[in-house]
Amino acid sequence: MKLAPIHRTLLYYLPLAVNVVLAIYLGWQLLAVEPSDRDSRVFMFSVTYGLGGIVLAVSGVTAFFHASAQIGGHRGYYALSLLNIIVPTVLVLSLLYMT
């Protein structure tokens, strides 16, 4: 079974885009903005955790179905969904470590 381009975009590339935006936002907040000028840490953590959780859920289900149901596509899509699982976890852990 081959995935339509819209499904491929929603399942693989949209989580990747969210990860890139989260990484840029966290990098900007933690490295370029003074601690006294940052948004509330609770707000930053909740937004990151919420978006990261959605990405984890979508990418985890996608990786599971890709591995078990043999969704049409090559290994690059499977690796991308696994990468989309790892990146939000590392971002949230780095946020906890740096704040």
Q: What is the pLDDT of residues 15-59, one digit of tens each?
A: 888 888 878 877 777 787 776 666 666 676 677 778 778 888 888
The pLDDT of residue 73: 60
Amino acid code (one letter) for 57: A
Band (pLDDT 50/70/90 cuts) for residue 1 is low
pTM: 0.69
CA angle 60, 99, 36 (to 5 degrees): 130
Residue 70 has pLDDT above 80, yes or no: no
Q: CA-CA distance, 86 to 80, in Å (whole number)?
A: 10
Q: What angle, rounded to 10 degrees, do the helices at 75-98 and 14-27 form?
A: 20
